A and B are shown apart, each in its own frame.
Chain A
């Protein structure tokens, strides 16, 4: 087997020539790879938009919640990828404050409470209860309080409908319709006087 012989001179000549060509290509303006820009894909391209109201203060900014994953029955793990202001809202016209802009982390948060917790009077710990149990208990307590404490006559003997032993706390995100129902059920119906919402407390 014969090994092709390369003299020192040939080796140097080839090497130098190759180097010169390579250097010329790169230094004097021939790009080996065509330059192409890489744009990031829009993360809300395939999201479902859901309109909602920011739960924080009393301004009531409208928000759009972008979720990934459709509503198919075999799909789990739908997640919120972005929350932004709703430009159609006359309240905030698409803007949000620093607190409202964090709403995604309010929802996608491992410390978020997803179950009803109940602490009995005098108890030192919370226990998990079902929503049915809670609503039943609230209804019973309301009935009990009203039966005991309803004032039907004022100090001049005039007929009134006042339940001063109870207050109602609504939410700042409640809609007009919600608030109408709260007024109708609690103020007109049960006679509760203080009807407030959490943002004013």
Chain B
């Protein structure tokens, strides 16, 4: 593992399969990407900018999924973000909810909790959850642990990939590639407080426009996310293909109580053996029972 060289802004907050917590001492502001669904026009500039910046190429040219404008049906290991063209019929009219879909960079990441490979998943103090493929063992526990179904495994390298929130750009003081490209200002990037305030401002505007259920999507089940949405129909997150109340239940159970129960059984076994030895001493071997073994 090579240490951080050029990325002085990236302070580690949590590392997978490692008891270490923050190794940095600097106070780093938390960063957040805000996606205003109400002004997205579905131009896919963010998709292209992401592919271009991260040097990703899809393996083969495929036909678009039928009856949709989506680039691909779903995320792929070399396709880290997707504009979902969700179509719903509402009051006899088409409700077209274009939703940018990528890693949510949870405050309480299920992938990091599930990961058994030391250092394969890192959470920085600024909120970015990054995969370090060098340490990835390809077990795909993160895929199980993710409540948003984001990580994807590569069939060639056997490692898991996802959006990095352009940690390389962010550490150099630049905004992520998707944010920079967006022509309608549907994606904003900044400190968490500013982005939350901006999102609340947009919700107030949308409410004034008659969208009574406009809301900020920042699910508390995963401790909040560092990618937040402004949803015009905030009461129906399924319209946008977003889970209503994402949680990392299974991984929490497995890495929390079950892990400590297992450790207790393990430690109890050792303690039991020691106590047994102290109480009863070494096993007395009956020498007279050597009649069937010749030395």
Contacts and interface: CB of A to CB of B under 8 A. Distances in A.
B44 A98 contact: yes
A114 interface: no
B183 A96 contact: yes
Interface stretch (A34-42, A115-123, A190-198): A34-42
B180 A84 contact: yes
Nearest to A29: B19
Q: How extensive is the interface on chain A, given as a class?
A: 35 or more
Contact of B167 (A33, A39, A100, A101): A39
B165 to A, nearest CB: 12
Interface stretch (A20-28, A135-143, A174-182): A20-28
Nearest to A96: B181
B168 A35 contact: no
Given A84-B180, A97-B183, A98-B43, A37 B4 contact: yes
A94 interface: yes
Interface string B1-20: 11111110010100100111
Given A83-B52, A94-B180, A98-B47, 9 more contacts: A28-B263, A31-B18, A37-B3, A38-B2, A42-B171, A95-B183, A96-B183, A100-B45, A105-B52
A101 B4 contact: no
Contacts of B75: none
Contacts of B10: 37, 39
Nearest to B21: A35
Nearest to B177: A84
Contact of B6 (A30, A36, A42): A42
B52 to A, nearest CB: 6
Interface string A55-99: 000000000000000000000000000111100000010111111
List the 8 closest A-B pairs by CB distance, nearest first: A39-B7, A101-B48, A35-B15, A40-B168, A29-B19, A95-B183, A98-B44, A98-B45
B180 A36 contact: no
B119 interface: yes
B263 A101 contact: no
Q: How extensive is the interface on chain B, given as a class?
A: 35 or more
Contact of B48 (A20, A38, A98): A98
Nearest to A16: B273
24 contacts: A23-B266, A28-B263, A29-B19, A30-B19, A35-B1, A35-B18, A35-B20, A35-B23, A35-B122, A36-B4, A37-B119, A37-B122, A38-B3, A38-B4, A38-B132, A39-B5, A39-B168, A40-B167, A42-B169, A42-B171, A85-B180, A95-B45, A97-B183, A101-B181
A121 to B, nearest CB: 36
